[in-house]
Amino acid sequence: MERHAPTLIERHCEKLCLATAVSLAGWLGWAYVAHTPNTVEHAGRRLGPGELNSVILCEARALEQHGPVVAPAPVEIPPLHRQLRRAQREGIYAHDVDAGGPSLPHKLPLATMFGRGHDIPLALGDPVEMVTPLAPFDVRATTGLALLPPLAESSDAARVQSWVHVTACYDSEAQRVALEAAGYPRYASRVHIAAVEAQRQQLCPDDTWLEWRDIRRPEEEIVALPAAAFDDDTGRVLNRAALNEAYAAVKAAREALCRPPFGEVLAGSAPSAERTETGVFADVPVSSIWIHDRDAEPGRTYRYRVRVRLWNRFVGRPRAVVNAADARATTIAGHWSEPTPPITAAPRRHVFLIGPARADDAAMVEVWKWRGGQWLRKTFAVAAGDTIGAVRSVRTDRRDEKGRPVREQVDFGTGISVLDVRAAGPAMTLVCHDPVTGRVVERSQHADLANPLRKTLRQPAAKSAPAEKKPAPRRPGPPDRRRP
């Protein structure tokens, strides 16, 4: 075998490899140990991590010397994990509910496949403009006096109340047609009255009217109407369950909300639930509504107006309405009705001029006072400058243990001041000032004696018929002495 002499490369190959390895190790040490390739541009310079920290620290100290350090504004991170968890638990129709669709159960019953199909509107189309409910019509008012049970069980004193019963008619069918014409879907065009509200105006002595004031409604406690609460981040409704419960309560309590009951009456009169003038009865149509004014002051003159509040079917669904603020209201207030004719709340006392008194320039007046469910009467002699009425002892319908009528002290004070007493021939005229109405009125003897109200008050109460007496046994007559 022929041998060749090693070449120059072969003789120095190990040295070349060793030199290359040393050069590579040196470059790596310089590039990644002594000097880093990771640099950023800051203020026109390329800086590494070590240099960047020192430069930022120097700039921060320079800023600290020029002014106070202001803490940065906190950054609010949305709870995306909670939103994802809630979206997974609410079901596949949760988004459609927020868009204005009906609320659907998470689980359908097992017999669903054998029943009717479910109409699930995935979209409502264009947002709708909210419709203001129609105004009631044919508004009327009646008044009366009632003796009500005491408020507390521990109290034995009954309450005397002058009430005003305000009735009206509401066309639910016309309201439904108006909602459908505005683009409401079929499920949202159903009319559900959530409340009946009323206001009154009081007549002043100068024949002007005060401002409208709301009437207290005890039936407000029947259904609690919560406000819609929204999530600021996603716009979802947080109290959807409470709104659904309130909606179900409004539908269940429709009768009490449209026609609230008056309550138990111990004596006197109660509002009538029947309207024979228009043929509308309380137990037939949904459109008959009313409200009771329990705070009317006896003897004052008022006029009333009413309106309805409908349940907002788009509450909590801002995407279904044009104005998103309309989705926050639980109910929608309607238009006010026309005011009723003026009506005077039933007074608890009446005064009639019945004739002249024995004294000169004096007149006899008859004062009737409603007390304990009955009208009591007393006569007084008054002259100019006197106040009609005083405390007198009268006989009532109550009986003592021996069956005799009980006499009680009754205040017949009216507060009416006599300004003048005039005698024109056989008739008399009384000029007086009524503090309730604030007016100066003239009372005529002829007019008061012929007043139908006085004749009604003077009618005697029906007395109980006496017990039927048994016929007394006949005594035997003298013996018959006739001869046969």
Q: Tokens 């541009």 belong to which residue?
A: 41
Burial of 108 (0-12, 13-18, 19+ CB in 10 A): exposed
Q: Please check the confidence at residue 117 and state whether its pLDDT lies above 60.
A: no
Structure confidence by residue, pLDDT tens digits, 222-232: 777 888 888 87
Structure confidence by residue, pLDDT tens digits, 69-86: 677 788 888 788 777 777
Share of the chain above pLDDT 90, in %: 29
The C-alpha atoms of residue 235 and residue 327 are separated, in whole angstroms, by: 11
Structure confidence by residue, pLDDT tens digits, 297-353: 999 999 999 999 999 988 888 888 888 888 888 999 999 999 999 999 999 999 999
Q: Please check the confidence at residue 393 and state whether its pLDDT lies above 60.
A: yes
- 408, 396 Cβ separation under 8 angstroms: yes
Q: Please check the confidence at residue 52 and state whether its pLDDT lies above 50.
A: yes
pLDDT band of residue 378 (cuts 50, 70, 90) is very high
Amino acid (1-letter code) at residue 286: V
pLDDT band of residue 156 (cuts 50, 70, 90) is low
Contacts of 293 (CB under 8 A, 6+ apart): 163, 164, 165, 166, 198, 200, 215, 302, 304
Structure confidence by residue, pLDDT tens digits, 420-477: 998 876 788 999 999 998 899 999 999 999 999 999 998 864 333 333 344 444 444 4
CA distance readout (Å), 380 to 365, 368, 391: 5, 11, 11
CB atoms < 10 A from the CB of 100, how many? 23
Encoded tokens for 416: 């009416």
Contacts of 9 (CB under 8 A, 6+ apart): 16
Please report, in angstroms and rounded to a whole number, the separation of the first and last CA atoms in the chain.
204
Share of the chain above pLDDT 70, in %: 79
Span 80-102, average pLDDT? 61
CB atoms < 10 A from the CB of 262, how many? 18
Angle at 270 between CA 266 and CA 199, to 5 degrees: 125
- Which has the closest alpha carbon to 141: 300, 292, 334, 298? 292
User: How high does pLDDT run on average in the chain?
Assistant: 79
Encoded tokens for 369: 């006072």
- Phi/psi zone of residue 183: left (φ > 0), alpha (ψ -120 to 50 degrees), beta? left
Q: List beta partners, residue 195.
A: 309
Tell me the residue length of the chain.
484
- 356, 363 Cβ separation under 8 angstroms: yes
